[in-house]
Amino acid sequence: MDPQLLSYYEAIESASVDMLAAARAGNWDEVVKLEGACVLLISRLKNAAQEPSGAASSAQTQAIELAKTKSRIMQRILVNDAEIRHLAEPWLQDLDDTLAGRRNKSLH
């Protein structure tokens, strides 16, 4: 794997960590902003992956290590995403209720 591609995976992971922190803080505007950044990074990653690599590396060990690193990064991104989704569920239900005209009628 090209080290440039790995840098995109690392940037996406970093954004997912920031998204998770924002979700934990209940800052959903920031989550949405960071999600947009992730979409852009993923798009750039896809484009870079389609470009032919400059010099073909014959170092199979390096390629294996890069693949392992990519796998670890992807696993962390998926764990972050799952927790963000878990944190967002109540917020999304509140949004659905508001849009449907249903209000929380609990007494304060």
DSSP 6-61: HHHHHHHHHHHHHHHHHHHTT-HHHHHHHHHHHHHHHHHHHHHHHSPPSS----HH
Q: What is the pTM of this model?
A: 0.68
Whether the CB-CB separation of 53 and 75 falls below 8 Å is answered with no
What is the domain-level CATH number for residue 42? 1.20.58.380
Task: Please give the average per-residue pLDDT across 79-86, as a whole number.
Answer: 90
User: In the predicted model, is pLDDT for residue 25 greater than 90?
Assistant: yes
Provide the number of structural domains found in the chain: 1
Range of the domain at 83: 3-99
Q: Which two tokens stand for residue 44?
A: 């750039």
**Would you say residue 104 lies in a domain?**
no
**Would you say residue 67 lies in a domain?**
yes
User: In the predicted model, is pLDDT for residue 33 greater than 70?
Assistant: yes
User: In the predicted model, is pLDDT for residue 38 greater than 50?
Assistant: yes
Task: Please give the average per-residue pLDDT across 16-21, as a whole number.
Answer: 95
**Would you say residue 87 lies in a domain?**
yes
**Would you say residue 39 lies in a domain?**
yes
**Would you say residue 17 lies in a domain?**
yes
**Would you say residue 88 lies in a domain?**
yes
Predicted pLDDT of residue 108: 46
User: In the predicted model, is pLDDT for residue 4 greater than 70?
Assistant: yes
**Would you say residue 82 lies in a domain?**
yes
**Would you say residue 108 lies in a domain?**
no
